[in-house]
Amino acid sequence: MSRQGTRGVDLRKVNGELFSLTYGALVAQLLKDYEDDEEVNKQLEKMGYNIGVRLIEDFLARSNVGRCNDFRETADVISKLAFKMYLGIQPVVSNWSAAGDEFSLLIENNPLTDFVELPPGHSQLNFSNILCGVLKAALEMVQMEVDVRFVQDTLKGDNITEIRLKFVKRLEDAVPVGED
């Protein structure tokens, strides 16, 4: 495996199909456990949160990115660096609110949903909801409280998958990750 990481860190890659099938097994297990779509969404977000807390350190170490000056810069880093690095895709940043405190990530080929078709009767399931948790936690760890939610999903018949991020507030009460 070639080493491509910055700062000599090995950027290990695994195959997207294997990832997608493994993630699918996780969602299927949760559907079996909880039955209710909203509860599964919550569990997925919680799992994503735990992952985001771990992943942000890895991301800061690899990307060598500094503190973002505004939410637009944050959006760019998420799309061009984070999604690219972890999922191999680069969502389009779009639909900014007039106040500049909300934007959407538009995803054309979501690697989590290769092979996936929602079973009937699960119209409330946000299959890839783990991503919301990851984003929420990762941003919280760099002192930004953000609301993250799915607003469109190709799995539900929408033309595109859209994740909406809304800036809530800057958190000031702790030392940001990577700046201690």
Q: Which is nearer to a copy of itself, 19 or 96 (CB)?
A: 19
Stretch that binds a copy of itself, among 18-26, 65-73, 118-126, 150-158 (CB under 8 A): 18-26
Q: How many residues bind a copy of itself (CB under 8 A)?
A: 33
Tokens of 78: 């998420």
Do residues 163 and 151 touch, judged by C-beta distance below 8 A?
yes
Could you tell me which residues come within 8 angstroms of residue 142 by beta carbon, excluding any fewer than 6 positions away? Answer: 56, 60, 67, 68, 176, 177, 178
The mark string for 145-164 relative to a copy of itself (x by CB under 8 A, - otherwise) is --------------------
Q: How far is the CB of 101 from a copy of itself (least distance, A)?
A: 28
Residue in 29, 94, 97, 124 binding a copy of itself, rule: CB under 8 A = 29
User: 162 to each of 12, 65, 95, 102, 134, how far by Cα in Å?
Assistant: 27, 25, 10, 13, 15
CA quadruple 179, 7, 61, 72: dihedral positive or negative?
A: positive
CA distance 96 to 17: 32
Q: How far is the CB of 102 from a copy of itself (least distance, A)?
A: 26
Residue 54 CA, chain-centre distance (Å), reads 13
Stretch that binds a copy of itself, among 12-20, 66-74, 93-101, 121-129 (CB under 8 A): 12-20
Beta bridge partners of 107: 161
**111 is a contact residue toward a copy of itself (CB under 8 A):** yes
Residue in 39, 42, 51, 122 binding a copy of itself, rule: CB under 8 A = 51
By the criterion CB under 8 A, which residues form the site for a copy of itself? 1, 11-19, 21-23, 25-26, 29-30, 33, 47, 50-51, 54-55, 58, 85-89, 111, 114-115, 130
